[in-house]
Structure 1
Amino acid sequence: MTGKTIGIMGAMPQEIDGVTALLNNPVRRVIGMRSYTSGTINGINTVVVFSRWGKVAAAATAATLIHVFNVDEIIFTGVAGAIDHSLNVGDIVIAKRLYQHDMDARPLMQQFEVPLLGKTFFECDDSKLNKIREAISPLIIDGILKDRIGADVLAQFGISTPNLHIGDIASGDQFFANNEQKATLQAALPTILCVEMEGAAVAQVCFEHKVAFTIIRTISDAADEQSHIDFPRFIEEVSSKYSVCIIKQLYNTN
């Protein structure tokens, strides 16, 4: 990563605040109602920004990082709702392929296909995914998350030993809060592990500008009728600390 400029995005201010605090010599700049903070982490030029919710907000933020700050890579970290039943609250998902589940221009083209690109998903290459997995695995294997957050706090959310997954993520401008939504998505895209509102939009912008991207999500809920319960507290006490730990591992800081 040396010599590059990295953009770090998140859709929740609580998750980004902790990452912003990692910056050395921070400089803040407001563009388009967003606050971009530049500095260095472990000697690497970095720009951190709270993107806000949704695909449009995420795409606009990613485009600004690319055109104004000239980033070479964008990392998005934040929460997601579990779609695959094997996932549990506290698990980490690294995106392999990202779909826009609300993209549907039928009968002009097949469902999920992005107009003019001829693509139904955006993909991260295997070599990059393996490097990310190696960097993040110690959070679980070495118990770093438990040490940083506290086993008692994790236990309050039913988290004992979180797992790390690599797989498909679906993005769309819709908060999943019932099993009917989950069943519909699973029927259409059976490989999806989790759902959120920004990742595929960031991936599309990066694809179109030939910029590397990494989407990493923490499972906050089961995307069902209980998905709203304790969500703000989970963001504050768990996922915000996950984000800091993940960035530290990726930057190889202590």
Structure 2
Amino acid sequence: MIVVLTALEVEHRAVLDRIDDVEGHEHRSGTHFDIGRTKDEARTEIALAFSGMGNLPAATLAERSVNEFRPSALMFVGVAGALRPWLHLGDVVVATRIYAYHGGRSDDTGFRSRPRSWDLTHTCDQRARVLARTARWRHEFISLDGHGEPDILFGPVAAGDVVLDSAASPTAALLRDRYNDAVAIEMESAGLASAGHLNDSVPTITVRGISDHADGEKERGDSAGWQQVAAHNAARFALALAGELDSPRDPARPAPDPDGPRHGTGTAVNRAGDHTTIGQQNGVNYGVFTMHVGQVGEHR
């Protein structure tokens, strides 16, 4: 199983559109997961949840997901702002390093950075690069500006707790001066990476579609539909990558007891190591359900 987290409804819908056989699963603390399988040949089992924006909720739900499902990997899939002019709207960025760029010390002499960072594991990096080079489905990516087929690129990503929409703000200057190799900016992946690190280094992967250039033109791009485009492209690559990263559960780290309280009123099933459902139903089965959420005008 691969756990996928998203921060915006447009991101959540983009992933949900690419899985089927979806069942609802409720964590004992109330978090809703959509559990299904990718529509491609791999039929990878996915647990999808909505965290909302910010590193703190992302870390909380990532920790909760690890304890609930013992996944092969954690993924954050969604949109990001570009920090490089050569990135085009609709391009997909796989984060090779995550910077938590807000750490530091402020005194009379100024601000001194004390960042944290997490590198993408070598195995995840290599599998993502092979997939990016060999994929035959890239024609399914969407672009609105006639630039051509969007690219899949690799580079560091900065994750903080502010929405950056200026090339001249103090935050933009900080990123240029102290995190000069960062190619994109977003708000959740530092939380995801920290949770993975604290859980015996569960692999964490960030896949982001570029929806704006963090340069003061964000609202114009959002209104033109670039969030939907970027979310679609990120989801397409991420779920293909999920199939390359998934592996049977480690028998030394079994899934939680389905008789335990954590499943609430959701559907509880036992899954064998080869992802075969062996069919025990506990509690109340409300069946398979699908929920469609309309456009709510979210903006980063």
Shorter-chain TM-score category? 0.7 to 0.9
Structure 1 equivalent of residue 113 of structure 2: 111
> Distance between the aligned counterparts of 2:79 and 2:132, measured in 1?
16
For the residue of structure 1 that corresponds to 2:168, the secondary structure is helix
User: Match of 1:13, as an amino acid?
Assistant: E
Q: Is the 8 Å Cα contact of residues 9 and 49 (structure 1) preserved in structure 2?
A: yes
| 1:219 to partner: Cα distance | 1.0
In the superposition, the TM-score normalised over structure 1's length comes to 0.81
The 1:105/1:187 distance shift into structure 2, 3 A limit, reads same
> Distance between the aligned counterparts of 1:88 and 1:56, measured in 2?
29
Structure 2 equivalent of residue 116 of structure 1: none
1:100-121: CA deviation from partner (whole Å, max 9, x where unpaired): 11122467xx6234xxxxxx21
> Distance between the aligned counterparts of 1:227 and 1:13, measured in 2?
17
The 1:65/1:146 distance shift into structure 2, 3 A limit, reads same
Structure 1 equivalent of residue 123 of structure 2: 127
Bigger shift: 185-194 or 20-29?
20-29
- For the pair 1:28 / 2:25, whether they are aligned, the reply is yes
> Distance between the aligned counterparts of 2:179 and 2:28, measured in 1?
36
Which runs of structure 2 are paired with 1:84-233 in the superposition (5 Å)?
84-105=84-105, 111-113=113-115, 120-138=116-134, 142=136, 144-147=137-140, 149=142, 154-155=143-144, 157=145, 159-181=147-169, 182-209=172-199, 210-231=201-222, 233=225
Calculate the aligned-residue CA RMSD, in Å: 2.5
Bigger shift: 80-89 or 16-25?
16-25
Which runs of structure 2 are paired with 1:46-61 in the superposition (5 Å)?
46-61=46-61
Residues paired across the two proteins, number: 233
The 1:250/1:241 distance shift into structure 2, 3 A limit, reads same
Q: Is the 8 Å Cα contact of residues 89 and 158 (structure 1) preserved in structure 2?
A: no
The 1:180/1:129 distance shift into structure 2, 3 A limit, reads same
> Distance between the aligned counterparts of 1:65 and 1:98, measured in 2?
20
Structure 2 equivalent of residue 8 of structure 1: 4
- Return the index of the structure with the highest Cα Rg: 2
Structure 2 equivalent of residue 82 of structure 1: 82
For the residue of structure 1 that corresponds to 2:104, the secondary structure is coil
For the residue of structure 1 that corresponds to 2:2, the secondary structure is strand
- For the pair 1:243 / 2:245, whether they are aligned, the reply is no
User: Match of 1:26, as an amino acid?
Assistant: E
Gaps of 5+ in 1: 114-119
For the residue of structure 1 that corresponds to 2:113, the secondary structure is coil
The 1:186/1:18 distance shift into structure 2, 3 A limit, reads same
Bigger shift: 13-22 or 163-172?
13-22
> Distance between the aligned counterparts of 1:28 and 1:17, measured in 2?
17
User: Match of 1:46, as an amino acid?
Assistant: I
Q: Is the 8 Å Cα contact of residues 8 and 47 (structure 1) preserved in structure 2?
A: yes
Structure 2 equivalent of residue 117 of structure 1: none
User: Match of 1:243, as an amino acid?
Assistant: A
> Distance between the aligned counterparts of 1:135 and 1:204, measured in 2?
26
Q: Is the 8 Å Cα contact of residues 6 and 74 (structure 1) preserved in structure 2?
A: yes
Bigger shift: 92-101 or 26-35?
26-35
> Distance between the aligned counterparts of 2:27 and 2:198, measured in 1?
25
Structure 1 equivalent of residue 68 of structure 2: 68
User: Match of 2:128, as an amino acid?
Assistant: I
> Distance between the aligned counterparts of 1:100 and 1:25, measured in 2?
34
| 1:201 to partner: Cα distance | 1.4
> Distance between the aligned counterparts of 2:52 and 2:190, measured in 1?
15
